[in-house]
Structure 1
Amino acid sequence: MTPPKERGLVVEGLRKRYGNHLAVDGVSFTLPAGGSLAVVGESGSGKTTTVRMLVGLERADGGTVRLDGRDRSARARGRAERLARAREIQMVFQDPYLSLDPRVTVSGCLDEVLRLHTGLDAAGRRAGVTDLLDRVGLGAREAAALPRGLSGGQRQRVALARALAVEPRVLVLDEAVAALDVSIQAQILDLLREIRREAGIGYLFVTHDLAVVRHVADDVLVLKAGTVVESGPVDRVLDSPEHPYTRLLMDSVPRRGRLPLG
């Protein structure tokens, strides 16, 4: 009998060292297809290093990364494989302004992605740009704007549209709402939940802010000094934390007025 195909993202024993500093030490987790996992911890806990290895921005010193059963651990061979991997896992950063070309309009930015990753002609790309902007709540005015002419929340929506353009299997959000004020945070988180319902994309949400975790994730992974100290369903981990470090993180969350989500 043929075994069922592995679905989702499976990370086993991921390690990364910088000189004498072991930044990530044996991190393992599973993100089911269409699931949402929050990776939490203080600055320096290894969160960002872990996800940078997943998307190929850093080379792991050990461990394996598989997506739907395909090994992503080895170096990609050739341009076609690099592009295919980029389509599978996309990343949205905390400050989208740094990842957007200041000389290129929003529509030009999205058109470039579609031209690189799809076989659409010019008319098809124009329609694709309009559809992507509509999905993230932007329109013609924003399409013609340069990044400097947009608000922080609008730039983050552009970054989401650019990531969605390649129809990824997994979307990595590295502190993606941390730089926004709380009302805009709520709007972006609502948008992310809607996109997940519609597209079935898996989310890997990296944050130091436990106040937003319940609103974005099914499961949570707690990192301390590059090591997993606790993991499990969000409600169980946040309501009844077992590890002292998780309890410390919970005690640091403001109890009132943190995030106006209904």
Structure 2
Amino acid sequence: MTGTTKGLVVDGLRKRYGDHTAVDDVSFTLAPGSSLAVVGESGSGKTTTVRMLVGLERPDGGTVRLDGRDRSARPRNRSERLSRAREIQMVFQDPYLSLDPRVTVAGCVEEVLRLHTRLNADARRSRVAELLSQVGLGEREAKALPRRLSGGQRQRVAIARALAVEPRVLILDEAVAALDVSIQAQILDLLAAIRRESGIGYLFVTHDLAVVRHIAEEVIVLKSGRLVEAGPTDRVLDAPEHPYTRLLLDSVPRRGWNPALAAPGRRALG
């Protein structure tokens, strides 16, 4: 993973919790403006991996670089910590937990601008309206408290908050997993449009292979903390090389689906 200066470059990432190795020698690259899916079952190490990328966990080994700048070490001061936060933002599965229930939607978004920018009050209000419009929310939603919104609307607010600082990379950790299928499609379409317009890069973390083809050009597969397969999405989903990837695909219900192929006894594969 050497020689790459642009984009997100992860090389030999490791994380242990006591005797348990959660992430073991994981490497990948996210090119500027591209979308990469990180897939695997619960316990595969995908969430631990992305928490290290945003600084919520410190790696025990390996490096994380964005446009050639090392993000692996602890930030030296508050200014560097805020700068790193602006570069890589994260949207979680349950946006309600990241929104202050006592503050309106507009206030939640403006809070980010107040922390990370020098915009005055009028400029912040204008930017908030712009961001909410970008994610399909209007003045009525802006004045509402988070509890008054649907799950899909709250996820749009979370995306607007993340975009407020104009990050280079947006990490979406199971960001549509809790939504109805029709709302999932709306959010995925919204994310695709934002990427076309802004050139932002996406790291899409999911256990759901059904959505991967619609969001990512590349995919990596994690199993027990190790990367077992990587490549273009169409190749990995249509002609998987690793038994574990085939097991994941066999677990996706579809026409002619045979649940026996996803039986627990097959999990010894790989």
User: Could you say what secondary structure the match of 1:167 adopts?
Assistant: coil
Partner Cα distance (1:148, 1:126) in 2 = 22
User: Could you say what secondary structure the match of 2:193 adopts?
Assistant: helix
Post-superposition CA distance 1:192-251 (Å, at most 9, x none): 000000000000000000000000000000000000000000000000000000000011
User: Could you say what secondary structure the match of 1:58 adopts?
Assistant: coil
1:223 aligns with 2:222: yes
Please give the TM-score of this superposition, normalised by the length of structure 2.
0.93
Partner Cα distance (1:19, 1:120) in 2 = 45
Counterpart for residue 59 of structure 1: 58
Counterpart for residue 135 of structure 1: 134
Q: Which residues of 2 match residues 94-173 of structure 1 at below 5 A?
A: 94-173=93-172
Partner Cα distance (2:78, 2:109) in 1 = 20
The CA deviation at 1:133 is 0.4
User: Could you say what secondary structure the match of 1:64 adopts?
Assistant: strand
Query: Partner amino acid for 1:235?
Result: D
User: Could you say what secondary structure the match of 2:170 adopts?
Assistant: strand
Query: Partner amino acid for 1:249?
Result: L
Counterpart for residue 177 of structure 1: 176
Structure 1 residues 5 and 236: CA distance shift in structure 2, 3 A: closer
User: Could you say what secondary structure the match of 1:206 adopts?
Assistant: strand
Query: Partner amino acid for 1:22?
Result: T
Q: Which residues of 2 match residues 189-200 of structure 1 at below 5 A?
A: 189-200=188-199
Post-superposition CA distance 1:174-198 (Å, at most 9, x none): 0000000000000000000000000
Partner Cα distance (2:21, 2:5) in 1 = 30
Partner Cα distance (1:5, 1:139) in 2 = 41
Partner Cα distance (1:228, 1:135) in 2 = 35
User: Could you say what secondary structure the match of 2:166 adopts?
Assistant: coil
1:30 aligns with 2:29: yes
User: Could you say what secondary structure the match of 2:59 adopts?
Assistant: coil
Post-superposition CA distance 1:133-159 (Å, at most 9, x none): 000000001100111000000000000
Counterpart for residue 76 of structure 1: 75
Give the fraction of aligned pairs with identical amino acids, expressed as a percent: 81
Counterpart for residue 231 of structure 2: 232
Query: Partner amino acid for 1:179?
Result: A
Q: Aligned residue pairs: how many?
A: 253
Partner Cα distance (1:80, 1:121) in 2 = 20
Could you list the runs of 5+ residues in structure 1 that have no partner in the other structure? 257-262
Runs of 4+ in 1 over 2 A off after TM superposition: none
Query: Partner amino acid for 2:199?
Result: G
User: Could you say what secondary structure the match of 1:43 adopts?
Assistant: coil
Could you list the runs of 5+ residues in structure 2 that have no partner in the other structure? 256-270
Counterpart for residue 268 of structure 2: none
Structure 1 residues 5 and 12: CA distance shift in structure 2, 3 A: closer
The CA deviation at 1:81 is 0.3
Partner Cα distance (1:192, 1:143) in 2 = 20
Partner Cα distance (1:230, 1:133) in 2 = 37
Partner Cα distance (1:78, 1:6) in 2 = 24
Query: Partner amino acid for 1:219?
Result: E
Please give the TM-score of this superposition, normalised by the length of structure 1.
0.95
The CA deviation at 1:5 is 7.4
Counterpart for residue 213 of structure 1: 212
Partner Cα distance (2:96, 2:119) in 1 = 27
